[in-house]
Structure 1
Amino acid sequence: MRDEGPSRALLDWYDAHARAMPWRTGPAARKAGIRPDPYAVWLSEVMLQQTTVAAVRDYFHRFTARWPGVGALAAANDGDVMAEWAGLGYYARARNLLKCARVVVAEHGGRFPETRAALLNLPGIGPYTASAIAAIAFGEQATVVDGNVERVMARLFAVETPLPAAKPELTALAEGLTPPDRPGCHAQAVMDLGATICTPKSPACGICPLRAPCRARALGTQADLPRKLPKKPKPTRHGIAYLGRRADGAWLLERRPDKGLLGGMLGWPGAEWGDAAQEAPPLAANWRDPGAEVRHTFTHFHLRLALRVADLPMDAAPARGRFIPAQEFRPSGLPTVMRKAFDLGQPALVPA
């Protein structure tokens, strides 16, 4: 049975305190009859995966200024999209973003499907994203569960089962609260509550609209929930990045394979990352060690990249990669780890 008390309290709170976001159609606009833009909802949800709202705002503005609709994005150059995505991480999302846009245009006439079930058939759209688009953009009674929602549910119902084992239980509890009326606003309300009041540390229970029914607050365990199993330590991998520049300022870069980490992105040549750094220069040259090391952490491992730099002759013929003219090279278009290598290695080269 659905408990409408917490849902009603949440919607009332959301109507008064909803966060303003560039991709969101707020409560006042919704009441005025303005419907959310499915393109904006989809794009923001993909960008927000594993990333913060603060980090996404500027990316969203740049993307929508350059590609204001799904048709424009579908027609975009792959390299341009990957360059604009640089810094957001999880680059498979950008590749799937393009695939999805092209399927929506080619198979759906440029309109996103309006049901969760149909949305799940699109590239790069999983259960969470499908639920979010269906609920927020199309008003389907779909349950949206992210980390904020899990935290709110764990505290509201005093769920002691640790994550990730608790996910099915927390999802069922969230589903029990999802109302048929305004499910999209409800989903955003729970996420806003978790982001602003029911925060991981020091939750502001005194101003929470769910403070009365919250079981963890009554027990005094709200700051301890949700419980989590200890994380396994991340392994460390090693590699070498080769920064080579010709006398005319052109940089030697190579595009990584489409599949795998940083797939499809431009980066510095180097061997596969492993337990030990393997020498694999792209051509014979006077490669020098600038005495710097790139340290970067991915989701599942830490990376340590040694650097090698070389001033290359105009007739250099690399075994792999290609030279990017100085006027076309944008460090900001590199993935974060490669940009770190540029920042550390570039000063050791002769000025172009």
Structure 2
Amino acid sequence: MMRFFVLFSLLLTHAGLFAQYHFSGEVSEINSGNTIYLSLVEDYRKSSRIYLDQIVKKTQVDSLGHFQFEGNNLPLQNRIYRIHLDGCSDTSEANHFLGQCNNSKSVLFIANNTDTVDFPTSFEDQSLCSIASTNAKSDALLQVEFLKDEMAYDFMEFPSEASRKLNTKKWFSTLQDFGKASKEPLVELYIYDFLSDKRNETYSYYLQDVSNNSYYDELFHRLNEAYANASFTQEYNAEIATDKELASFHSPKTSYFNYFLIGLLIISLLVNMYLVASRKMNVRLRAKSLWSKLTPQEQKIVDHILQEKSNKEIATELFVSLSTVKTHINNLYKKLEVSSREEIVVLFKK
């Protein structure tokens, strides 16, 4: 009995070590051969469009309209991801990634490294508009989009000033309540990005709300509990502090003290910008130092890795055996203190 229990425990441990994500779906067969991308959206202010620096993987739609992404290199915690089907017919890089192509489609969803997520076509043969997942939070962002559509309808039905004020208050409360009920701070962060967008008509109300509503501080506590080390948690905290000062500046109680605080805030932001720039410089210096320690052959292999070439392609280019390439790459991992090709790309990307 004890032997069986130990064996069962080992099997569970072994299965956990090889946990991996599997994101797959189906689109129209006319997209056969088109490129489809998987992006990791760490910056919630970059959730509204495609950004090159968010893309972590790409593949092609097969002849039947199917696609899939799988691996084990994503964060174990939930994150916001985007699947983007490139429907552009030309070769302009700007068009491909700035959302200017009419046939391009994308969907935002929540997942982690252990999830299986499927994007089946709907009964109307629409692609990337429904989600089936092992993660109960995956489709929450789609539900937010449905609520935003209802909100837009409310605003258009009676476009009077009185109706706008009533609807603004109603929908701030509706969306915030939906976010809290989801039990996923990433959903609330996605909603916050929308409600606090300076381009929206609701921005003036947001400045009032952020001053008087404890919701925003409570959201920071929820983010800090779930994602304490994530960059977006600290970004949110900094934004809230800035917006509260801005709201105070726009209030009737504005005083010279407010100007003083804003001045301090600007100085703080400049200092933070300097620290971020210094951090990036340190990363570049480290990369330069590590590069100098590589042999010429290892440097060539790194160059090929940055060009996304396979081990077989590298072997052909350098006229060496496949096993020699693998040996060089294992040595690179040790010298650079990394564990994957992706980390090498991050380390030496321009």
TM-score per shorter chain, which class?
Answer: under 0.3
TM-score by length of 1: 0.27
Q: Which has the higher contact order (CA 8 A, sep 6+)?
A: 1
The structure that is helix-richer by fraction is 2
TM-score by length of 2: 0.27
